[in-house]
Amino acid sequence: TDLPRSPAAAAEPHHASPAAPRRLREKLRTAARMAGPPAHTAPGSRQQVQGGERRAQPASGAPLAAARETRAPFRFDYERFRRSLCHPVRGRQPGEDPETRARRMKIKEMMKFAWDNYKQYALGKNELRPLTKNGHIGNMFGGLRGATVIDALDTLYIMELEEEFQEAKKWVEKSFDLNVNGEASLFEVNIRYIGGLLAAYYLTGEEVFKSKALELGEKLLPAFNTPTGIPRGVINLGRQDTRPYSIGMSWSWGWASAGSSILAEFGTLHLEFLHLSELSGNPVMNIRKVLNRVEKPQGLYPNFLSPVTGNWVQHHVSIGGLGDSFYEYLIKSWLMSDKKDSEAKKMYDDALEAIEKHLVKKSAGGLTYIAEWRGGILDHKMGHLACFSGGMIALGAEHAREERKQHFMDLAAEITNTCHESYARSDTKLGPEAFRFDAGTEAMATRLSERYYILRPEVVESYMYMWRLTHDPKYRQWGWEVVKALEKHCRVEAGFSGIRDVYTTTPTHDNMQQSFFLAETLKYLYLLFCEDDVLSLDDWVFNTEAHPLPVNHTNFKA
């Protein structure tokens, strides 16, 4: 390969394709040039990308090709990158109290149990079905396999489960096939597969992870071939055609309003694609240009945007599903840029101000929550997915103006407390998918369809950030309550399973060990009981699947 290898990675030959970064550069440039609108693109559900007659002809293709032939291949200096980190990846492990260590070891045992059962019954499938002891493939990943492997890599590494990490790496080397043909969620493939592979590369320097990430990133690019550059939500990984607005490559979700793209989906690409750019030496998309131009109702960002016109399709605003990680990626983009991306910081500050003004409410019982906004009418519910926001606001508070810091830390603590209450008020001490603040009910699910728990991480994610930023011992105590509840209600003979009703002490299991349980829930719980220098926030930013990506302290072109 053209890249320097870490000493660990040099022990055995890796066969990364040197052509992959160059092909990626070429396709990224093509994607960046798409500007003119297609001839006929009518909005509609599951809309095909069309536009026959007027294809934008790249004017500068030949000179670019010539430049590529003469320019030296881009090289990322991995050793220099590792030297730039402020802390060792796994920390310095100073003396600590025995109870904290014992709790961390318990979470490590849970991870080993989850991985060992996946390996035994479902290796190569996307997820383990622990009750029936078989694998589940699903239809989110377009024929890609091994979602649990890719999601687990960095957690296994951080927990020093060396043998298990080598098993996972071997599967990636020998069995991870990217030549698939199927409909994939751009968002899910990006956060799980691209995020997981990038994190594994940055943590270990193993070439195989980098080359797979670049090759898969290239397959996602046709989703950006739209008049605005805002990608559609679904992409066929098997049909590669880079012509502008090519037919059949990507489309919008059938349930998304009027062929629109979803805020949390197209807004949750920036961290990963920035790193694809870093590793391939090529600039990537700019979704923000469209978002800055379009008018925000009351400063809020609705959940649905047309990839054809660049306008909002309907005014539903949510910090939970459909909107959540867009806001998270604004503050994290700024942090990842070593606090240089002032545009992202301003967008985050403005969005948070609008959220606080219009959506943050306090219940009669004194609980602070973030409501949803539907065309000006508030829906007084909060989804489990929105519980990441306590951690996000705390992360942003650290870097707010001096006179606003304490205000935002208090807001973060109040929201995290509300999410803890949603756990504490259930019989299992696990939280429901959504909880409401109406008809005298507070922080509880009132609908049967919202009473389930699928091993989600957002609440413990906020505990981890709140612990790191305040060191208030209650966050570790709350995290330990979750560990005990998971062991009691979700651990089964062959893995961990979600439950269908958190309000009964004899819950029915859903027979699914989600890949994000290994990527996120167990990682955040483990880090909650680690010293602060393990995956230090000075060096790492977590993507929305908890995959650590490095803060860009400098430019690592070799």
Catalytic residue from among 218, 421, 442, 458: 458
CB 417 within 8 A of CB 431: no
Catalytic residue from among 127, 272, 278, 324: 324
- Residue 268: which CATH number? 1.50.10.10
d(CA 348, CA 107): 34
Is position 458 annotated as part of the catalytic site? yes
Tally of domains in the chain: 1
Q: Return averaged pLDDT per consecutive 10 residues of the chain, 558 residues in all.
A: 32 34 43 32 29 31 35 77 94 85 98 99 98 96 97 98 98 97 94 98 97 93 87 84 50 66 91 89 72 88 93 91 91 95 94 96 97 92 97 96 96 98 98 94 96 98 98 98 98 98 97 98 98 97 98 73
Q: Which residues are annotated as a binding site?
A: 544
Q: What is the pLDDT of residue 555?
A: 67
Residue 7 in any domain: the answer is no
Q: What is the pLDDT of residue 258?
A: 58
Host domain of residue 506: 85-550
Catalytic residue from among 433, 510, 531, 545: 433
Q: How buried is 364 (Cβ within 10 angstroms: 0-12 exposed, 13-18 middle, 19+ buried)?
A: exposed
Q: Which residues are annotated as a binding site for Ca(2+)?
A: 544
Residue 145 in any domain: the answer is yes
Q: Which amino acid is at 5?
A: R
Q: What is the pLDDT of residue 386?
A: 97
Residue 480 in any domain: the answer is yes
Query: What pTM was estimated for this model as a whole?
Result: 0.86
CB 244 within 8 A of CB 51: yes
Residue 294 in any domain: the answer is yes
Residue 63 in any domain: the answer is no
Residue 493 in any domain: the answer is yes
Residue 117 in any domain: the answer is yes
Q: What is the pLDDT of residue 294?
A: 84
Is position 188 annotated as part of the catalytic site? yes
- Per-position DSSP letters for 207-225, written without gaps between them: HHHHHHHHHHHHHHGGGG-
d(CA 152, CA 147): 8
Q: Which amino acid is at 213?
A: A
Q: What is the pLDDT of residue 106?
A: 98
Backbone torsions φ then ψ of 207, nearest 5 degrees: -60, -35
Instruction: Supply the angle between the helices 389-397 and 324-336 in degrees, to the nearest 10.
Output: 30
Catalytic residue from among 154, 188, 531, 533: 188
Residue 439 in any domain: the answer is yes
Is position 421 annotated as part of the catalytic site? no
CB 393 within 8 A of CB 451: no
